[in-house]
Amino acid sequence: MTDPIIEARDFRKTYGDFTAVDGISFAVNSGEIFGLLGPNGAGKTSTLESLEGLREPNGGELRISGVDPTREPRKLRNIIGVQLQSSGLHESITVNEAMEFFCAYHGVPANYKLLDRLGLGEKRKTQYHQLSAGQQRRLVLALAIAHEPSVLFMDEPTAGLDVATRVELHNIMREQQSKGTTIMLATHDMAEAEEMADRIAILLNGKIVASGTPMEITATGAGLTKVSVRTQESSLFEDGYEFPAVTSSSSNEPYRIFFTTDIGPTVAAIIEYAESHKDPLIDLRVERPSLEDRFLEITTDGGAA
Amino acid sequence: MTAFAHHLSFELRIGIRNRQLLFLTYLFPLVFYLFMGFLLAEINPFFGEGLVPAMIIFALLAATLLGLPEQLVRAREAGIYRSYKINGVPSTSILAVPALTTMLHTAVVSLIIIVTAPLLFDSGLPNNWVNFTIVFIAVAFASAGLGVLIGVASPNSRSTMFLSQIVFIPSILLAGLMLPLSQLPETFLSISKMLPATHGMNAFNGLAMGVTADFEPWGSVVVLLAGGLFSFALASYLFSWDSQNSTRRGHPLLAILALVPYFAAILLI
């Protein structure tokens, strides 16, 4: 996973006076799952659609496997597969027809086995609008990977899906990755990004404000760990103690909550305090800051974090 | 099977599954044909003579001007062309395939009219089937071209019907479908030469039905073919993959250039 397969250099996209993407650069390595995160209007869709050849950049360079998406659309179409947020299918097209139609334009035989693999084998003659939301999403994914692209773009692939279908789609993504497919994932779902992406970039106002592995990004924040404690006699609700590394505290009865920069000394001090007050611990929970916490931290302070 | 053949076969099936297209391509023209046949043939015994070409042109206009543009605009608004672009479907196929399938569906309707009109209304049939076929293709090509151009130039579904009616209603009233062109005032006759239906009716009469044409019938065929070529070329130039993406090659008003062959017809034939 070392060769860059997707590259953006000083990429800019404007719409009239509005700058949607303001000179961003990044590289995605072959076989990686790369998450593109950001609030609405951050420039995710403009970036994705420019890489897919749907929009023309106003500056900079974009390359996928060395191919310029704008100037070499014919070469691009067999390199990439795209799972669009909107299906882009006729309501009355059947599962089989969709597979045959798109494979014909890619110059490959219809991949019926893939339909079976994605649980659509019994739905081959069913029209698109008669499929459930999960089945529709699986069909769109099947069409995106039927020609075995080396790069797969996925825009909000699990939005609105139930938990089981979501897990199933994640398994398919991992399976594609294990075959060497590079996946670029745009999502609002932080848990999904944290779970699936090898690396992520957070876009805000058209600029990349953070990038790296989910763990790296999480670690670069204020890094406050949340410690929630419940004791039998509620001695922690009394005043007159001070724990090391705690920056703030709050209450959510029956829990007392502490935010700490250093978990070890804080937890040790809490336990010692409870023991010294003959107040047995009932529950103690330690929660690392999540990617969502870090994302909110970044996006609410305008990327200054 | 080639990708284009897959596309054509799939669009033919989609056309049959789409209730709106079925209505505009089959039901509306056939009900109108029966209505006109029973009503007007009773009032005017000579109407039956021109019933076949008039109703075939009506069927072509209903399918290509009312059905086809709406179909294109809806597909564009639904993001279908975006996925087509990503998967390598060329814009020429996107425009040509629905036009061809509409023409094929209308050919079926035309056959129904040709078979039933003599039995039901004692209508005259073409005396030159080769010319009849040539004229049918020319009218279908010209009206499908206009339909495709309206679909491409129209900004949204709401505007599409308005733009289609600008051509459809005058065609019904002024193109010689309801009453002979010779009965129109001179000014209206010139205006009617701006309509593909007028040239279609004139060419059917002069070349296939054994009726005296109002003006040079082969000239009408040339105008129809030129009109179709202009329309398809302009549609291809103005085509936009995406309703949300404002980048397109020319201003939609350029579509008016499709009328150049019809303007020339006013001056030359």
Mean pLDDT over each residue of chain A, to the nearest integer: 89
Whole-Å CA distances, A69 to A4, A52, B255: 16, 6, 29
Q: pLDDT tens-digit profile of A147-205?
A: 999 999 998 888 877 888 888 889 989 999 999 999 999 988 888 898 899 999 999 99
Find the mean pLDDT for residues B36-65: 87
Provide the pLDDT for residue A120.
Answer: 92
Radius of gyration of the CA atoms of chain B, in A = 18
Instruction: For residue B241, give how far its alpha carbon lies from the nearest alpha carbon of chain A (Å).
Output: 8
Torsion of CA B185, B191, B195, B198, to 10 degrees: 20
Does the structure show a pLDDT above 70 at A272?
A: yes
Provide the pLDDT for residue A219.
Answer: 74
Provide the pLDDT for residue A112.
Answer: 94
Rounded Cα distance, B126 and B53, in Å: 9
Rounded Cα distance, A43 and A183, in Å: 18
Give which of A278, A230, A275, A283 is closest to A252, Cα–Cα: A230
> How much of chain A exceeds pLDDT 90, in percent?
58
Rounded Cα distance, A84 and A180, in Å: 21
**Do the beta carbons of residue A155 and residue A45 sit within 8 Å?**
yes
Q: Between A88 and B67, where is the model more confident?
A: B67
Q: pLDDT tens-digit profile of B250-261?
A: 888 899 999 999
Rounded Cα distance, B202 and A196, in Å: 67
Provide the pLDDT for residue B246.
Answer: 57
**What would the two tokens of residue B158 be?**
């709401």
Provide the pLDDT for residue B93.
Answer: 94
- Residues 6+ positions from B91 with CB-CB distance below 8 Å: B236, B239, B241
Instruction: State which residue of chain B sits closest to A46, comparing Cα positions.
Output: B245
Provide the pLDDT for residue A225.
Answer: 84
For A264, the 3-state DSSP assignment is helix
Instruction: State which residue of chain A sits closest to B1, comparing Cα positions.
Output: A104
Does the structure show a pLDDT above 70 at A2?
A: no
Instruction: State which residue of chain B sits closest to A53, comparing Cα positions.
Output: B86
Q: A53 and chain B: CB distance < 8 Å anywhere? A: yes
Return the number of CB contacts < 8 Å for A and B. Answer: 73
Does the structure show a pLDDT above 70 at B1?
A: no
Instruction: For residue A97, give how far its alpha carbon lies from the nearest alpha carbon of chain B (Å).
Output: 7
Mean pLDDT over each residue of chain B, to the nearest integer: 91
User: How many residues are listed for chain B in this entry?
Assistant: 269
Q: How confident is the model at residue B247 (pLDDT cuts 50, 70, 90)?
A: low
Give which of B71, B89, B3 is closest to A91, Cα–Cα: B71
Q: A259 and chain B: CB distance < 8 Å anywhere? A: no
> How much of chain B exceeds pLDDT 70, in percent?
97
Instruction: State which residue of chain B sits closest to A80, comparing Cα positions.
Output: B86
- Binning chain A into helix, strand and coil, the percentages to the nearest 5 are 35, 30, 35
Q: What is the pTM of this model?
A: 0.82
DSSP string, chain B: --HHHHHHHHHHHHHHH-HHHHIIIIIHHHHHHHHHHHHHHHH-GGGGGGHHHHHHHHHHHIIIIIIHHHHHHHHHHTTHHHHHHHTT--HHHHHHHHHHHHHHHHHHHHHHHHHHHHHHH-----S-HHHHHHHHHHHHHHHHHHHHHHHHH-SSHHHHHHHHHHHHHHHHHHSSSSS-GGGS-HHHHHHHTTSHHHHHHHHIIIIIS----SS-HHHHHHHHHHHHHHHHHHHHHH--S-SS----SS-GGGGGGGGHHHHHHHHH-
Q: How confident is the model at residue B229 (pLDDT cuts 50, 70, 90)?
A: very high
Residue A224 DSSP one-character state: P
Residue A238 DSSP one-character state: S
Angle of helix B91-121 versus helix B51-61 axis, rounded to 10:
150
Q: A97 and chain B: CB distance < 8 Å anywhere? A: yes
**What are φ and ψ of residue A203, in 5° steps?**
-100, 140
Whole-Å CA distances, B208 to B35, B140, B180: 24, 16, 16
Q: How confident is the model at residue A301 (pLDDT cuts 50, 70, 90)?
A: low
DSSP string, B219-236: HHHHHHHHHHHHHHHHHH
Type and span of the H or E element at A50: helix A44-51
Q: How confident is the model at residue A302 (pLDDT cuts 50, 70, 90)?
A: low
What residues of chain B lie within 8 A of the CB of A93, using their CB?
10, 14
What residues of chain B lie within 8 A of the CB of A87, using their CB?
79, 83
Q: pLDDT tens-digit profile of A112-125?
A: 999 998 889 999 99
CB contact under 8 A, B87 and A105: yes
Highest mean pLDDT among A31-35, A165-169, A221-225: A31-35
Provide the pLDDT for residue B245.
Answer: 62
Provide the pLDDT for residue B148.
Answer: 97
Rounded Cα distance, A158 and B57, in Å: 49
Provide the pLDDT for residue A304.
Answer: 47
Provide the pLDDT for residue A222.
Answer: 67
Q: A18 and chain B: CB distance < 8 Å anywhere? A: no
Provide the pLDDT for residue A162.
Answer: 82
Q: How far is CA A62 from the centre of its chain?
A: 21
CB contact under 8 A, B89 and A105: yes
Provide the pLDDT for residue A305.
Answer: 43
Give which of B87, B106, B141 is closest to B33, Cα–Cα: B106
Strand partners, A227: A258, A286
**Do the beta carbons of residue A137 and residue A170 sit within 8 Å?**
no
CB contact under 8 A, B242 and A54: yes
Q: pLDDT tens-digit profile of B170-216?
A: 999 999 888 888 888 888 888 899 999 999 999 999 999 999 999 99
Q: pLDDT tens-digit profile of B124-156?
A: 899 999 999 999 999 999 999 999 999 999 988
Q: What is the 3-state secondary structure (H, E, C) of B156-187?
A: CHHHHHHHHHHHHHHHHHHCCCCCCHHHCCHH
